[in-house]
């Protein structure tokens, strides 16, 4: 639900493109600025951080190679303000490029990532991925509201419609989420960075089982990319499905999938989250 605070503040907020397009600062080095609007508690939400790292890493590879896999470890919170990112080419092959990146803030490493970029190749094999779930229309699904001071700041920028599952900390017996999402104000083409941001925007589905607020933090996250969709936009409706794999000893693992507005399967992710409560 778009509240008055979100409407009046949007023109002063950092756009997705500005948040993730970092300035070159020397060979393999980049410098960015992250606005608190993209915050999630103390940290900037991981989808924005990862999108920026992926864009920086893409500068190391030929333009005809696209992102095929991305993995990141969040060793500490990437906070609002200046970020310094260094990238390194691990290997440049004929059909695939392998790149690493790390973010440093206040003299400490906060995130370390690796990515594979590959050419599109002809193949006799083709499996399109799982079909999109049969979901009610977005307008028929409850919206997670932005409530200043209660919900993460970045939910001012992204809209969520729940088809299955409940909002975090609602004491649900369910541990699955399906639904729709879109950027509220950013109409950028859906390149790989935009898809990373969308598939990471949702909360871990196990968090809806909590009955009271508790901190949670992503630890590791990996994404396999099926397709970029520069013909689609981030402000269109994308569909999402996340299933809890386990919750044990203060950690939860979940798998998530994302489909483009026309129903094409585009990405799959697996994430480990620490839950402190």
Query: Per residue in 59-93, pLDDT tens?
Result: 999 999 999 999 999 999 999 999 999 999 999 99
CATH number at residue 46: 2.40.160.210
Asked whether residue 131 is assigned to any structural domain, the reply reads no
pLDDT bracket for residue 11 (50, 70, 90) = low
Record the pTM.
Answer: 0.93
Contacts of the segment 135-144: beta carbons below 8 A, 24+ positions apart:
135/163, 135/178, 135/179, 135/180, 135/239, 136/163, 138/180, 138/237, 141/179, 141/180, 143/1
First to last CA, the chain: 28
- Model pLDDT, residue 122: 86
Per-residue pLDDT tens over the stretch 208-256? 999 988 889 999 999 999 999 999 999 999 999 999 999 999 999 999 9
Of the candidate ranges 7-11, 43-47, 243-247, the one whose mean pLDDT is the lowest: 7-11
* Helix or strand holding residue 73 (H, E): strand 66-74
In the predicted structure, residue 9 carries a pLDDT above the cut 70:
no
**Residue 8 above 90 pLDDT?**
no
Token representation of residue 68: 């095929």
Q: Could you tell me if residue 260 is inside a domain?
A: yes
Q: Does the residue 268 lie in any domain? A: yes
When comparing pLDDT for 138 and 2, which is higher? 138
Number of domains observed in the structure of the chain: 1
Range of the domain at 59: 4-120+136-275
pLDDT in tens, 153-198: 999 999 999 999 999 999 999 999 999 999 999 999 999 999 999 9
The answer to whether the beta carbons of residues 110 and 76 sit under 8 Å apart is yes
What was the pLDDT predicted at 44? 97
Give the per-residue pLDDT at 4: 31
- The pLDDT of residue 208 is 95
pLDDT tens figures, 132-162: 999 999 999 999 998 888 889 999 999 999 9
pLDDT band at 2 (very low <50, low <70, confident <90, very high): very low
At 10, is the pLDDT very low, low, confident or very high (cuts 50, 70, 90)?
A: low
Answer whether residue 126 is part of any domain.
no
- Dihedral, CA atoms, 200, 202, 206, 210, nearest 10 degrees? 130
Please indicate, yes or no, if residue 17 is contained in any of the structural domains. Answer: yes
Please, what sign has the CA dihedral across residues 17, 22, 23, 24? Answer: negative
Whether residue 157 lies inside any domain: the answer is yes
Q: What's the rounded Cα separation, in Å, for the pair 251 and 146?
A: 26
pLDDT of 1 above 80? no
State residue 140's pLDDT score: 97
151 part of a folded domain: yes
pLDDT on residue 12: 80
Residue 253 forms part of a structural domain? yes
């Amino acid at each position: 639900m778009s509240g008055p605070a979100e409407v009046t503040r949007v023109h002063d907020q950092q756009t997705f493109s500005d948040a993730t397009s970092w300035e070159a600062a020397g060979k393999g080095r980049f410098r960015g600025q992250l606005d608190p609007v993209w915050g999630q508690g103390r940290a900037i939400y991981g989808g924005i951080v990862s999108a920026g790292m992926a864009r920086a890493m893409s500068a190391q590879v030929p333009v005809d190679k696209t992102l095929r896999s991305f993995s990141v470890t969040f060793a500490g919170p990437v906070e609002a303000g200046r970020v310094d990112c260094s990238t390194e080419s691990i290997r440049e092959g004929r059909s695939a490029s392998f790149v690493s990146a790390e973010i440093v803030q206040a003299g400490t490493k906060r995130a370390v990532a690796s990515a594979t970029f590959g050419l599109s190749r002809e193949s006799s094999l083709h499996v399109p991925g799982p079909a999109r779930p049969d979901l009610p229309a977005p307008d028929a699904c409850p919206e997670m509201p932005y409530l200043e001071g209660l919900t993460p700041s970045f939910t001012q920028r992204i809209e969520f419609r729940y088809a299955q599952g409940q909002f975090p900390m609602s004491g649900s017996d369910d541990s699955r989420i399906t639904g729709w999402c879109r950027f509220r104000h950013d109409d950028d083409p859906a390149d790989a960075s935009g898809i990373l941001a969308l598939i990471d925007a949702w909360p871990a589905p196990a968090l809806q089982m909590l009955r009271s607020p508790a901190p949670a933090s992503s630890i590791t996250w990996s994404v396999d990319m099926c397709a970029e969709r520069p013909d689609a936009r981030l402000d269109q409706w994308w569909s999402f499905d996340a299933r809890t794999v386990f919750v044990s000893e203060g950690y939860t693992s979940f798998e998530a999938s994302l489909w483009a507005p026309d129903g094409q399967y585009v990405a799959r992710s697996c994430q480990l989250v620490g839950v402190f409560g």
